[in-house]
Amino acid sequence: MTPATWPRPEPREDRLLRIDPAAGTWRDARLGDLPAELRAGDLLVVNDAATLPASLRGRGPEGQDLELRLAGLAGHGEWWAVLFGAGDWRTRTEDRPAPPRLARGDRIAIGPDLNALVRRVDASSSRLVALAFDRAGATLWAALYRHGRPVQYSHLRAPLQLWHVQTGYAARPWAVELPSAGRALTADMRRALAERGVRFASLTHAAGLSSTGDPALDTRLPLPERFEIPPRTAAAAAEARARGSRVVAVGTTAVRAMEGQAARHQGRLVAGGGITDLVLDAAYRPRVVEGLLTGLHEPGTSHFELLQAFAPPELLRAAHAHAEAAGYLAHEFGDSSLVLRG
Amino acid sequence: MRMRGRAAMVTGGSRGLGAALGRALAAEGARVALVARGGIDLERTVREIRTRGGEAHALIGDVGDKEQVHFLAGAAAALVGPVDLLVHNASTLGRTPLRLLLDTDCEDLERVLAVNLVGPFRLTKVVAGSMALRGEGLVVHVTSDAGVNAYPRWGAYGVSKAALDHLGRIWAAELEATGVRFLTVDPGEMDTRMHAEAMPEADPRGLADPAAVAERMVAMIRSSETIANGARLAS
């Protein structure tokens, strides 16, 4: 599928592939049709994580040029990061030269005001390391925003600015890549949905990296990710289910947060935070989420696996083939799909 | 809005009214992120608040710079949590001594609008979406009677404050149903560095103490639900 190479100005005109798992059908629509595809009382649950400038250039202990991409918090004030060799996002991730092999205790110099110390190296991929920065609190955030750039990939045509990778309701900067399904929800769209009677709730999920350049490491994606479900969101989901309304996740990260939390609490979505390693696939039966608004996902990706928890693989494959032939656009600035019964 | 445990962000927080608001909000139990361009006064204010047992963080940045808005909003949310109260207190007079409009450079007017009008617009734009989703939030614009009365030599500043007043009203109208509220507050003439720069001949003994004004503003914030959304008040 052709990737969208840049954010498009009018999301309402973006295409929406409406997939109904119960009827076994799909049809073409526009994002502007989303309010009509939902019912009064439906609960849209969004991921309100802001996106960090998670790509940092640095020098290894022997001056080696490298890029590190933050992947998420590792606990104890440490961060997981994936290392890349010389070059930048313009080179396909899988074509990037391997990073220098770093060891515990090595220092990565990022700027005069920021260094990272390697605390751990993953046992099976030397590209995955746990780092500790030599700054904390406000000075660490200032340095990260000063030196970091948005993580991006070679299908884009120009360097992204931080405002390109934020949703319209972002708060805490937990995500290292844009929770992109939320781009559909402009203020105007949220207002139209609210007028339809659709309700909103938010959670925060630390959306991680979607590609590492290391095939073995890629098979482990998504890595465990941090999330937080506020009490009002848990209550809103319970109320929606009690009145027979649907809980619809905006994005795969919102699915993972809700189902990850439910999996830890006997299928109930209780308020709270944690780290989830849940990976959804065809064998997984969702406990809370009835469907999702998401992008277009290629068969063979972890996102496509996740979709199979909501719709049969044959239907998803056929719908995807149709979308490809019909010129839908893929990736974070691409078109959307709504996978939902009824 | 009860401030205990809430996340507050105050621009222009190093001195004067902004620093006093930071101290008063922290004393109410709010977690406070203070924004200012300069480091030394800002760090001192943050240290003072922490010494008294409050929580405060120093974010060094320029609200007039488009490149910094996501840093300021993101870092504030990371440090104190999703922002419940945003106070746009930072502002610039432009070039001093204040000039007649005929002597005001276009670039000076642009800089005043960037800090006093576009900066607050941008920061609200980044913060208020999350507030709306959570169903509550309060945004306070600090204004001036120079935005209402046409004082000679206050052209750039006065125009920026008049536009800021109207920005607050339009925000309030657009977000009316969301639970996000807007207040515009004229603190009056205070004994601050900004006032001394604008009117060096004024006797500071006749001016209000920013700490007293901050206390009155915190009282307004506490009872903001009873004040009409988008209202412009004198403190």
Is A255 within 8 Å of A292 (Cβ atoms)?
Answer: yes
Q: Please tell me whether residue A297 adopts helix, strand or coil conformation.
A: coil
Instruction: Give the CATH number of the domain where residue A297 resides.
Output: 3.40.1780.10
Task: Give the integer Cα–Cα distance in Å for B143 and B232.
Answer: 9
| B19 conformational bin, left if phi > 0, alpha if psi -120 to 50, beta if neither | alpha
Per-residue pLDDT of chain B (235 residues; tens, 9 = 90+): 999 999 999 999 999 999 999 999 999 999 999 999 988 999 999 999 999 999 999 999 999 999 999 999 999 999 999 999 999 999 999 999 999 999 999 999 999 999 999 999 999 999 999 999 999 999 999 999 999 999 999 999 999 999 999 999 999 999 999 999 999 999 999 999 999 999 999 998 889 999 999 999 999 999 999 999 999 999 8
| CB within 8 Å: A172 and B81 | yes
Say if residue A127 is in the same domain as residue A60.
Answer: yes
Confirm whether A228 is domain-assigned: yes
Number of domains, chain A: 2
CB atoms near residue B107 (< 10 Å): 10
- A 6-45 near B (Cβ less than 8 A): none
Confirm whether A2 is domain-assigned: no
Say if residue A206 is in the same domain as residue A225.
Answer: yes
Is A221 within 8 Å of A210 (Cβ atoms)?
Answer: yes
- Among residues A147, A174, A196, the one where a domain terminates is A147
Residue from B47, B59, B71, B131 to probe the interface with A (highest A Cβ count within 10 Å):
B71
Single out the residue of B12, B6, B28 nearest to residue B217, CA to CA: B28
| CB within 8 Å: A142 and B177 | no
Say if residue A47 is in the same domain as residue A61.
Answer: no
Single out the residue of A284, A252, A266, A85 nearest to residue A175, CA to CA: A252
- B 166-185 near A (Cβ less than 8 A): 177
**Which residues are registered as beta bridge partners of A118?**
A131
Task: Look up the domain containing A110 and give its range.
Answer: 55-147
H helices of B106-222, in order, are 106-113, 119-134, 155-174, 193-198, 210-222
From edge to edge, which strands make up the β-sheet containing B85-88? Answer: B55-60, B31-36, B7-11, B85-88, B137-142, B180-186, B232-234
Say if residue A32 is in the same domain as residue A74.
Answer: no
| A297 conformational bin, left if phi > 0, alpha if psi -120 to 50, beta if neither | beta
Say if residue A185 is in the same domain as residue A307.
Answer: yes
Say if residue A163 is in the same domain as residue A288.
Answer: yes
Instruction: Give the CATH number of the domain where residue B66 resides.
Output: 3.40.50.720
Q: What ipTM does this complex have?
A: 0.96
Confirm whether A6 is domain-assigned: no
- Among residues A147, A174, A194, the one where a domain terminates is A147
Task: Look up the domain containing B197 and give its range.
Answer: 7-234
Confirm whether B1 is domain-assigned: no
Confirm whether B89 is domain-assigned: yes
Say if residue A207 is in the same domain as residue A277.
Answer: yes
Q: pLDDT, tens digit, for every residue of A143-155?
A: 999 999 999 999 9
Say if residue A127 is in the same domain as residue A171.
Answer: no
Supply the pTM of this predicted model. 0.97
Number of domains, chain B: 1
- Among residues A147, A169, A194, the one where a domain terminates is A147
